[in-house]
Every structure is written in C-alpha cells, then in structure tokens.
Structure 1
C-alpha cells in the first residue's frame, strides 16, 4: 500500500500526525498544493484505509494521571477466545489504557495510567481477582519517552 503513496501524501500524513487540527490550506502552504488538492488526498488516503481516525492528545499531568505502570499476567488457557474475552474485561477497568499480547510467551501486558499508587493497587487487585489469572506481576514506570507524533517516513 505504501507504494500508492507519493512524497506529498507522506508529508501530509506527517503534518497531520504533528497537528491534526491543521487546515487543508495550512497543509497546502507547506506542501505547495491547493487546499482542494490536500482535501482530495486526505479523502483518498482515508478510503484506502491509511487514515483510520483522528485523535486529540491529552496532557496526562493536567488531568492528574501521572502514575504509570505495567502489569504482566498469564491466564489459564491462552487461546484466542480467552485472550479476546480477557481484553474486553480488562479494558472495562478504569485506568487500563492498553492490552498488549507478546509473541513467543503466553503473557499479556496491561498498560496502566492512573492518579496514584492507591488507585493502581485497586486496579491490580481487580485484575488478580479475575478467575482466569494464573500469575501476575507489575512494574512502575519511572520515566517514559514516547514519540507522540506517530510514525516516521
């Protein structure tokens, strides 16, 4: 699919990842194309499935969500169905932001973002009480470097 995208498309994607609120005219000024051309390219990339949605990036500190941790768990019966059901159940717990499956090991990772240690312990307790949990361990994140501007081309 990347073969169908030219340098202008990739630059439009890069700009949208940096600031989704840029207008078509602003993007056009950067890529030396009209707003109508930029719009048409965005619509085409959306129809292609390259653009699947747009999000707003929130400031976790201003929302008092500064406590980050990972919980690693093993569940009984690591089948696709069990993992899918666990994912649905886990994402219903406030504070769990992501469920990650690892290849090569029957383990699931949960990324947690919450207010403090007390709320983290409550989340960890909810997880440990789930009947399919075989083992659980966690680690706290002391520092986190993340590229919030998406993919590099």
Structure 2
C-alpha cells in the first residue's frame, strides 16, 4: 500500500508521538488547521494503519521494575513449527516487553523487564528454559538506560 503523507500529516504524527493525549482542538491549532479537517486527517491515518493505537507509557522504575535484561535465544532448529511454538510461548509472558526474530548467532532477542534478579531467575527456570526448542540462552543486564524513545524518525518522509 502506498500512502502519501504531506507535511501536515507529518506534523500530526510528530505531535501525536510526543503526546497522544493532545485534544483535537489543540492539535488543529498547533498544525494550523481547523478541528474538523484535522480530525479527518487523524482518522485517515488510523484507518490506513499508520497510527496503530495510542498507549500510556509507564515508568518501569517507579513501578518497581528496575531490572532490564536483553536475552539472546538460540533454538535447536529453525523450522517454521519450532519458531511458531517459541513465539506463541513468548507472547504469553508479560515480562517479555519486546521480542525480535534475528539474523546472526541468535535466533531471537528479547527484552525482559522484572523487579529483581530473583524474578528473572524464576522467569528463566519456569518459562524460558521450559520451551522445548530452546538450545542456548545468553543474558545481558542493562546497567543504565542511555536513550529511549517510542517516537519513530520521520525525516525520510519529508
């Protein structure tokens, strides 16, 4: 699907990426449109799938989720069945906030968020190591979050 995004659409997306809770009236004012055409553009972006959904971002540390772990997982075999089985099991785990199928040495890269090392150990023992196709697990603990953004770079569309 080819969707043409003009400069007004890009302004809308930039603003909504920073504050999805902005009112339509304020959004329209900030981009220089009246509310009705602004709302129409937002709805078109939603219907086209450009805007997938709107969420509230929570502060993990404030909520006691201070440990962020990047986990490389290697499977015994990369058959379609094994990949599907692994992905289905991973989707059930709320600790896994991101999961990517990778190229290179590991088959998957996970980002796991837990309150402490004991919780991560339980996740490993009770969940990850029990998935039949898992052959190797390597964990790297994040010491500090240097940069984090949910906003996508849109410069290439301008």
SS of residue in 1 equivalent to 2:97: strand
SS at match of 1:36: helix
Q: Higher mean Cα deviation, 77-86 or 34-43?
A: 77-86
* Equivalent residue number for residue 110 of structure 2: 110
Of 11-20 and 90-99, deviating more is: 90-99
Post-superposition Cα deviations, 1:112-144, rounded to whole Å, max 9, x if no partner, equal 001001001111223123221111111101112
Alpha-carbon separation, structure 1, partners of 2:82 and 2:9 = 40
Distance in 2, matches of 1:3 and 1:40, equals: 15
Q: Does residue 111 of structure 2 align to residue 100 of structure 1?
A: no
Quote the Cα distance in structure 1 between the aligned partners of 2:27 and 2:94: 37
Name stretches of at least 5 consecutive residues in structure 2 with no aligned partner. none
Q: Matches of residues 1-153 of structure 1 in structure 2 within 5 Å?
A: 4-125=4-125, 126-153=127-154
Deviates more, 1:110-119 or 1:126-135: 126-135
Q: Does structure 1 retain, via aligned residues, the 8 Å contact 2:96–2:112? A: yes
TM-score with structure 2 setting the length? 0.88
Residues 27, 38 of structure 1: 8 Å contact kept: yes
Tell me how far 1:47 sits from its aligned partner: 1.6
Give the Å deviation of 1:105: 4.0
* Contact 2:89/2:131 (<8 A) preserved: no
CA–CA distance in 2 between the matches of 1:124 and 1:68? Answer: 14
CA distance in 1 between partners of 2:141 and 2:106 (Å):
21
TM-score normalized by structure 1? 0.91
User: How many aligned positions are there?
Assistant: 153
Q: Secondary structure, in 3 states, of the residue corresponding to 1:57?
A: coil
1:41, 1:80 → 2: CA distance?
40
Task: Supply the RMSD in Å over aligned alpha carbons.
Answer: 1.7
